[in-house]
Amino acid sequence: MDHSRAPVLEALQEFRRRGDVVFGPPGHKQGRGVDPRVADVVGMDVFRSDVLSLNGLDDRRQSQGVLSQAQELMADAVGAEQAFFSTCGSSLSVKTAMLAVAGPGEKLLVSRNAHKSVVSAVIVNGVEPIWVHPKFDAERHLAHPPEPDDVRRRLKEHPDAKGMLLITPTDWGTCADIRGVARVCHEFGVPLIVDEAWGAHLPFHPSLPPWGMDAEADLVVTSVHKMGGAIEQSSVFHLQYDRVSPEALKQREDLLGTTSASSLVYATLDGWRRQMAEHGQELLDGALHRAERIRSAVAGLPGLRPMGQEIVDAGLAAEFDPLKIVIDVRELGITGMQAAEWLRARRHVDVGGSDSCRISASVTHADDDETEQVLVDSLRALADGADSIERQPAVRLPDPSSLELEQAMLPREAFFAPAEHVPAERAAGRIAAEMISPYPPGVPVVAPGEVITEEVLDYLRSGVEHGVLIPDAADPSVKSLRVVARSAG
């Protein structure tokens, strides 16, 4: 296929060249009605390019096939049989993918280190989750993806499960054995969905971890805005084989997705695909060498411990994405949240993620010598200035096994059941009616339907005292919890 083409961008360029006068949405009329104060911040071109797909980029019959051409090019670029764009972000794409495989009341294996968007999908879709617990790394207090044997064991226990949802790479860059898990799923005749939100770049360089389509997954969801070059909310479904019906996937996406898709998202997805198809290996080669230099420089700084190949050598993960610079800061006597706040306030550097133990910085094809130097200099300043950061009470990290909570009710049933609020000191032993997700990375410590324990309460409350954000809890201070009323539980 001709990857020098970008059908959506070309159609947008033609729309602007024609100078069509539009008497439909959007109401700002390609910027004519925009407050100049808004345009001064975001630019007029944003509004000039905000065009309806139908009767805008294409006619109402879609006779030019603008979007379908762009999707075919994407599928060809990444080695998928089919690709579908979504402008609602991968949070919604994952819900769609799950619903394309398992309907309400049906079982689906789900990796328990899933983002809150996945647990939200379990609640909305009404599927019965069969949790596959990740491999916990006690030294780093980190969850790595589950292994093929974990999936095989759960499929043997639940032969009526409709498929498996695997999350890889994790927020911290550790990766699953996708091929191994896929083959186990296929052995049982069910599809593997991969939430590869952090992996849109993986198809475009041989030194990166295996890409889901190459590793025999059936359906892969990527967030191109995370490690790629499209704007926020850009997401793509990639499909192969015949275990997931493309018709069902399209219908579920139509059920959940927007009817006002953003041409800005479509255009940037299209342009990023062209960039990667033409120059991806070269651009990512530069990013990989840059990340290697950064990791080497950080390793020489006192109190900072970058994560790397050692987690693969130790058998904790199948692969890791070297473009994720994950740095343990505990030897500085501070937490990752404190480090992130210090870097933002003192150096105007915003890291990608932080928790009680570490920070992470994503290196992409967009970085250059200047941003590399800024990051290294800022981390050096953090190492030098950590003694000035006020010490706070430690987050009381539980034993990893304490995070495997009993599932007493289905998440959907618990979420919609009659509920009551109880003081935290009386919440142990009660069934949660809410998600409680320290953020970032946003993986629920407690999901609806799970039995709350003293160890988890102690962890959450000490985290809040330290500054951990828990935005999805009814009471973000975790002084009280929303639990299933006794009459319902």
CA-to-CA distance for 85 and 72, rounded, in angstroms? 10
Question: What is the CA 380 to chain-centroid distance, rounded?
Answer: 29
pLDDT above 70 covers what percent of the chain? 99
Q: What percent of the chain has pLDDT above 90?
A: 79
**Gap between the Cα atoms of 189 and 408, Å rounded:** 29
- Sequence-ordered list of residues with C-beta below 8 angstroms from that of 60, at least 6 positions apart, any chain: 54
Q: Write the CA distances from 79 to 82, 113, 210, 418, integer angstroms.
A: 9, 27, 12, 48
- Is the confidence at residue 239, as pLDDT, over 60? yes
For residue 269, pLDDT over 80 is answered with yes
Give me the pLDDT at residue 400, please: 77
pLDDT in tens, 334-380: 999 999 999 999 999 999 899 989 999 999 999 999 999 999 999 99
What is the pTM assigned to this prediction? 0.94
- Over residues 39-88, the pLDDT tens digits come to 999 999 999 999 988 778 887 778 789 999 999 999 999 999 999 999 88
Q: Give the domains, in start order, of the chain with CATH numbers.
A: 7-274 (3.40.640.10), 286-388 (3.90.1150.150), 400-484 (3.90.100.10)
Q: Tokens 């006779």: give the residue.
A: 63
What would the mean pLDDT of 107-129 be, rounded to a whole number? 91
Write the CA distances from 235 to 95, 257, 312, 437, integer angstroms.
12, 12, 29, 23
**CA–CA–CA angle 350, 355, 356 (5° rounding):** 130
CB atoms within 10 A of CB 258: 13
pLDDT > 60? residue 489: no
